[in-house]
């Protein structure tokens, strides 16, 4: 048995295997989205030319962009280009879609990271406090009510309330005055905080609830009793035993939350006017900009798959029992 060596090897294996199946998933997603967007009522020609255009004008436009080809042919062309890294040009702006994504990606990434950080800053202490409170009813019911509320308020409702409050007042945080991080970090933070907070609320509740249950379960484990018997202090027990063991289920919901951020970013960026990928895709959907939507969904799927692979790897790191199960086969 050489657990260390083989577990390193197995992580590589896991990534490889998951990347392969992820690629297949991605192909499936691309077919689905291709079909879905073309089945949506209202085609590109109708949206661009408006309801009063002649059928001839519409047909001409369709020919120009190859939209008159049968769907499988269109899909085949698009896939071939995508495989070469060419995601096409926006049907509306005529700008290459890939460039636009690359330009907007950092904004969305910043938003997602901020939301994750906020979710952890509030979620983890809440989980610990209520998990360790054990039988104390106030703490138990407190987190349950707050958690249920936070999980069931839709992000667009919360966003509307915050936009209303902060656009009519001067409370440091701003709505709609986006400034790039590189140019004015303070203004950027003031503009990004509210959207990130909106996105994080679901995560706070998710982490607090799952974490509380995990902490409670770990507190009752025999190895915690053994730590008490060994004379370890409360803080030593939390730091040495509870945090890491309770982190395993929290990791699962964090992955779920990261997936949620992907979708939430579209809504939140739109409502707050943050020029990220989400807003771009949203505009693409409204104007039937097929290439933009296809690329956007494909990108989201790819990120989601990557998150899942990362989560799987982290499982093995956090929980050695999973790591060595993989090593054995």
Partner 1 sequence: MTPIITVSDVALEYATKQGPVRALDGTSAEIHPGEIIGVVGESGSGKSSLGLAIAGLLPPNARWLSGEVLIDGQDVRSLDDAARRRFRRRQCGFIFQNAMSALDPTMRLHKQFRYALNGRGDDGSVAELAASVGLPTDKAVLRRYPHELSGGMAQRAMIAKAIAARPKIVVADEPTASLDAAMRTQVLELLVSLRSDLGLTCVLLSHDLGLVLRYCDRIAVMYSGRVVEYGTPELVLSRPAHPYTNALLRAAPGREAPGQRVQPIPGMQTAVRERSERCAFVDRCQRAEERCATVRPDPRLVDDRQVLCHFAEQEVSSVS
Q: Where does this chain bind partner 1 (CB under 8 A)?
A: 1-4, 221-223, 225-233, 236, 240-241, 244-245, 318-321, 324
In sequence order, which ranges of the chain are alpha helices (DSSP H)?
3-39, 44-49, 55-64, 71-83, 97-133, 137-152, 155-167, 185-219, 222-229, 234-237, 243-272, 277-286, 290-318, 320-328
Q: Which is nearer to partner 1, 200 or 245 (CB)?
A: 245
Buried b (16+ CB within 10 A) or exposed e, 280-302: bbbbbbebbbbbbbbbbbbbbbe
Check if the beta carbon of residue 11 is closer than 8 Å to that of residue 313.
yes
Q: Which is nearer to partner 1, 144 or 240 (CB)?
A: 240
Helices 3-39, 320-328: inter-axial angle, 10-degree rounding: 90
In eight-state DSSP terms, residue 52 is T
In whole angstroms, the minimum distance from the beta carbon of 125 to partner 1 comes to: 21
The structure tokens 């939507």 sit at 293
In whole angstroms, the minimum distance from the beta carbon of 244 to partner 1 comes to: 5
Task: Determine which helix (DSSP H) or strand (DSSP E) holds 23, and give its type and residue range.
Answer: helix 3-39
In whole angstroms, the minimum distance from the beta carbon of 321 to partner 1 comes to: 5
Return the SS3 of 275: coil
Q: Which is nearer to partner 1, 64 or 225 (CB)?
A: 225
In whole angstroms, the minimum distance from the beta carbon of 245 to partner 1 comes to: 6
Q: Which is nearer to partner 1, 8 or 19 (CB)?
A: 8
In whole angstroms, the minimum distance from the beta carbon of 317 to partner 1 comes to: 10
Question: Closest by alpha carbon to 289, among 85, 122, 87, 121?
Answer: 87
In whole angstroms, the minimum distance from the beta carbon of 221 to partner 1 comes to: 7
Q: Which is nearer to partner 1, 36 or 228 (CB)?
A: 228
In whole angstroms, the minimum distance from the beta carbon of 328 to partner 1 comes to: 11
Tell me how far apart the alpha carbons of residues 124 and 58 are, in angstroms, rounded to a whole number. 56
In whole angstroms, the minimum distance from the beta carbon of 229 to partner 1 comes to: 4
Check if the beta carbon of residue 222 is closer than 8 Å to that of residue 198.
no
Check if the beta carbon of residue 26 is closer than 8 Å to that of residue 302.
yes
Q: Which is nearer to partner 1, 236 or 286 (CB)?
A: 236
In eight-state DSSP terms, residue 154 is -
48 CB-side CA count, 13 A: 19
Q: Which is nearer to partner 1, 68 or 232 (CB)?
A: 232
Q: Which is nearer to partner 1, 39 or 222 (CB)?
A: 222
Question: Closest by alpha carbon to 107, among 117, 115, 96, 118?
Answer: 115
């Amino acid at each position: 048995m050489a657990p260390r060596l083989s577990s390193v090897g197995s992580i590589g294996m896991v990534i490889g295997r998951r990347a392969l199946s992820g690629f297949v998933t991605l192909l499936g997603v691309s077919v689905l989205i291709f079909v879905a967007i073309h089945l949506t009522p209202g085609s590109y020609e109708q949206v661009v030319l408006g309801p009063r255009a002649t059928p001839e004008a519409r047909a001409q436009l369709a020919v120009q962009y190859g939209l008159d080809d049968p769907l499988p042919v269109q899909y085949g062309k698009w896939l071939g280009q995508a495989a070469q890294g060419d995601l096409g040009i926006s049907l509306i702006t005529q700008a290459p879609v890939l460039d636009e994504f690359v330009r907007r990606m950092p904004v969305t990434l910043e938003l997602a990271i901020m939301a994750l950080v906020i979710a952890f800053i509030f979620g983890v202490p809440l989980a610990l406090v209520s998990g360790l409170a054990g039988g104390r009813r106030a703490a138990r019911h407190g987190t349950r009510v707050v958690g249920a509320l936070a999980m069931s308020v839709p992000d667009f409702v919360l966003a509307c309330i915050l936009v209303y409050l902060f656009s009519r007042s001067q409370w440091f945080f701003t709505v709609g005055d986006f400034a790039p991080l590189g140019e004015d970090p303070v203004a950027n933070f003031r503009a990004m905080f509210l959207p990130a907070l909106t996105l994080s609320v679901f995560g706070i509740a998710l982490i607090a609830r799952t974490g509380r249950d995990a902490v409670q379960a770990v507190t009752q484990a025999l190895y915690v009793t053994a730590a008490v018997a060994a004379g370890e202090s409360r803080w030593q027990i939390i730091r040495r035993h509870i945090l890491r063991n309770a982190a395993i289920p929290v990791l699962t919901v964090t992955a779920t939350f990261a997936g949620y951020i992907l979708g939430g970013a579209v809504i939140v960026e739109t409502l707050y006017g943050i020029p990220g990928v989400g807003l771009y895709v949203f505009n693409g959907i409204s104007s039937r900009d097929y290439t933009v939507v296809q690329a956007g969904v494909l990108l989201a799927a790819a990120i989601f798959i990557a998150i899942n692979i990362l989560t799987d790897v982290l499982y093995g790191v956090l929980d050695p029992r999973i790591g060595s199960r993989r090593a054995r086969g």
